[in-house]
Structure 1
Amino acid sequence: MNAYRRLIFAALMLTAVVVVFGAYVRLADAGLGCPDWPGCYGKITPHHAAEDILGAHAADPHGPVSLPKAWKEMVHRYLAASLGLMIIGIAVLAWRHRSHKGAAPWVATLLVGVVIFQGLLGKWTVTLLLKPAIVTGHLLGGLTTLALLTWLAARVAGARREVVPPRLLWAARAGLLVLAVQVALGGWTSTNYAALACTDFPTCHGSLWPVADYANAFHVVRELGMTADGELLSLSALTAIHWSHRLGALVAGGVLLMLGWALARRVPTAGAGVALIAAVLMQICLGVANVALSLPLPLAAMHNAGAAVLVGLMVWINFRLQARGIARPAPAGLGRLLPLSPRSQRRA
């Protein structure tokens, strides 16, 4: 089991690297640095394909192909392939130790399926020329991999389960769901290059309800930068995408901050609550900074890293919480989520 445990934690760390580096590749406009898959112009490295890459770059100096972009794209593929092999190893060890309480072989098997589908999404990302639905799915697949590995890590580490009132448990479940929706909105914003559709804050184009084309913005089956009818995607459609992400951040941030405060009020979960509050506030600051500073690449990558941290943290929190019995009813409003006093906490 020691090898199984070490492999899970190593894969979890590598997944975080792959997710963040994948965001960096996309933000650096290197997603088509190698226009074929799985190699680069049929070669195993950009070094071996240098002649083809330099020829493509000479033909279109402002295009998506260049030697630096090719290396970025291929390094991401090498890391992802290494992660896939590690996850297969995790599944093999999980079944070998299936009698052990922390093995969870079916979750490990599900993880293999997710990674295989993630590999196909990576292929389609290139061969279908960065279609927003495919690229967003690829991002969500990476975060799903992170979430499953976090769950496995919590299980194999024997993370302490805390008994909490049912309302707090369901608040944590709802928080994870709200976060998933917000991550999807963030991915849609990034893959449609709508992060700078609004350059002012907190308003957008000087308004709290800007002119926006939501119909074309959220039409899933279309080409990058185009409507479903083949027209260029308008600024109002990009504004709709960006503004939806901001409104989602307002909702998700509020829900997660309330959850963090509720956890921080209880001694056994205080550390998790403080960590959640800090992660949410940091993510909000990064989002605002990206708008104010016109999306510098390091900050944009850090914003993606912040989303990964929140996903991992929320999965860990949900793993730790369990409800038993019925807690004393709380007052309406915020009191339904927040414990009232240490005495009421002990009763719960």
Structure 2
Amino acid sequence: MKKLVLASIFLALLVIVLGAYTRLTDAGLGCPDWPGCYGTLLVPQSEQHVELANQAFPERPVEAEKAWNEMIHRYFAAGLGFFILVIFFTSLVKKMRGSHGPVKLPFLLLVLVCFQGALGMWTVTLNLLPVVVMGHLLGGFTVLSCLFLLYLRLTPYRIPGGDSQIRHYAKFGALGIAIVVWQIALGGWTSANYASLACTELPICEGDWFSNLDIAGAFSVPVAENYEFGVHDYQERATMHIMHRIGAIVTFIYLCWFAITLYKRSSSGLMKRLATTMTLVLGAQVLLGVSNVVYSLPLTVAVLHNAVAACLLLVMVLITYTMYRKY
């Protein structure tokens, strides 16, 4: 089961990357129905099928590239759901046979991936409602983190000798996870509302940005029939972008402090390596975020920004789990 969990981790990361690619190529509604695409399991290709699809959905004519982006994401997400189902039943059978091993976590994963499927459906049926889009993103990161946590539970490693002093900092690792998740949520909200390019200058937003902040409006959900390309005004989108930048500064400062503290206080070579890894991943994430602004959100950089955010979260989970369970 450990190998299956490891494969699922890579598949979950791929699903997150494909989801980001789908969102950034404006393909979230590439298929206007769910779970199929224009009533079929494949994107309509022949002229006859395209014509029938356009007649069935006149408000959303077939755009093959966007439709394939959306369906490929769904195919891999369905594959991940199948893997998690197998993991759950495998853990359940082992438990019934008297073997030791986690069952609650696989069950939680099964519940999470089912809810993810529902969020994927609502993303389409509610026409990219930002709350749902952001929730779908956070759900993907949650599934990935829980899979990684399950992998760690199945991995028999322990740091010899113990280190009660460094274990005291485990609670700061948990806080670091919360901060990273909050920052991911801010990024998801910014992206879901098409506010990633609301500010095009560094280090601060252009114009009299401070007096134009509209926090209440930025985190509101206006009623609309379709949320594609956003429904908030520029001032509200700029506020979303600024809040994401402020969150990035807070995250950077806190994680730098945490990494330095771990490196200085820990006597374990493993923990020092993890602290160094966290610093490198954090640095890469900051550079990607800056590049998104400087180069006007290039697709490759924006997708990598999501992938590296996932890696940063996994490093934080590994550090915190190690301090709580392995010392």
TM-score, shorter chain, exceeding 0.5: yes
Distance 1:36 1:243, change over 3 A: same
What is the alpha-carbon distance in structure 2 between the residues aligned to residue 81 and residue 57 of structure 1?
Answer: 26
Alignment-derived partner of residue 71 in structure 1:
68
TM-score, normalised via structure 2 length: 0.89
Report if the CA contact (8 A) 2:189-2:240 is conserved: yes
More displaced 10-residue stretch of structure 1: 160-169 or 106-115: 160-169
SS at match of 1:203: coil
Which residue identity does 2:89 align to in structure 1?
V
Distance 1:51 1:248, change over 3 A: farther
1:94 aligned onto 2:95: no
Report if the CA contact (8 A) 1:30-1:73 is conserved: yes
Distance 1:285 1:51, change over 3 A: farther
Alignment-derived partner of residue 293 in structure 1:
295
Q: Residue by residue, what CA displacement relative to the aligned partner does 1:127-162 show, whole Å, maximum 9, x if unpaired?
A: 110000000000000000001001001111224356
Residue of structure 2 aligned with 1:151, choices 149, 152, 160: 149
Alignment-derived partner of residue 197 in structure 2:
196
What residue ranges of structure 1 are gaps of 5+ in the alignment? 325-347
What is the alpha-carbon distance in structure 1 between the residues aligned to residue 215 and residue 61 of structure 2?
Answer: 29
Distance 1:255 1:278, change over 3 A: same
Question: How far off is 1:211 after superposition?
Answer: 1.3
Question: How far off is 1:322 after superposition?
Answer: 2.5
Alignment-derived partner of residue 131 in structure 2:
133
Report if the CA contact (8 A) 2:31-2:37 is conserved: yes
Alignment-derived partner of residue 178 in structure 1:
179
What is the alpha-carbon distance in structure 1 between the residues aligned to residue 111 and residue 48 of structure 2?
Answer: 37
Alignment-derived partner of residue 103 in structure 2:
105
What is the alpha-carbon distance in structure 1 between the residues aligned to residue 123 and residue 32 of structure 2?
Answer: 10
Percent of pairs with identical residues: 39
Distance 1:180 1:298, change over 3 A: same
Distance 1:147 1:81, change over 3 A: same
Distance 1:65 1:212, change over 3 A: farther
1:246 aligned onto 2:245: yes
Q: Residue by residue, what CA displacement relative to the aligned partner does 1:232-262 show, whole Å, maximum 9, x if unpaired?
A: 5211100111000000011111111111122
Q: Residue by residue, what CA displacement relative to the aligned partner does 1:196-250 show, whole Å, maximum 9, x if unpaired?
A: 0000010101457351221121014644659xxxx95211100111000000011
What is the alpha-carbon distance in structure 2 between the residues aligned to residue 115 and residue 323 of structure 1?
Answer: 26
Alignment-derived partner of residue 330 in structure 1:
none
What residue ranges of structure 2 are gaps of 5+ in the alignment? none
SS at match of 1:34: coil
SS at match of 1:7: helix
Q: CA RMSD in A?
A: 2.7
SS at match of 2:169: helix
Report if the CA contact (8 A) 1:198-1:291 is conserved: yes
SS at match of 2:324: strand
Q: Residue by residue, what CA displacement relative to the aligned partner does 1:47-84 show, whole Å, maximum 9, x if unpaired?
A: 467645467779x9997840011111101000000000
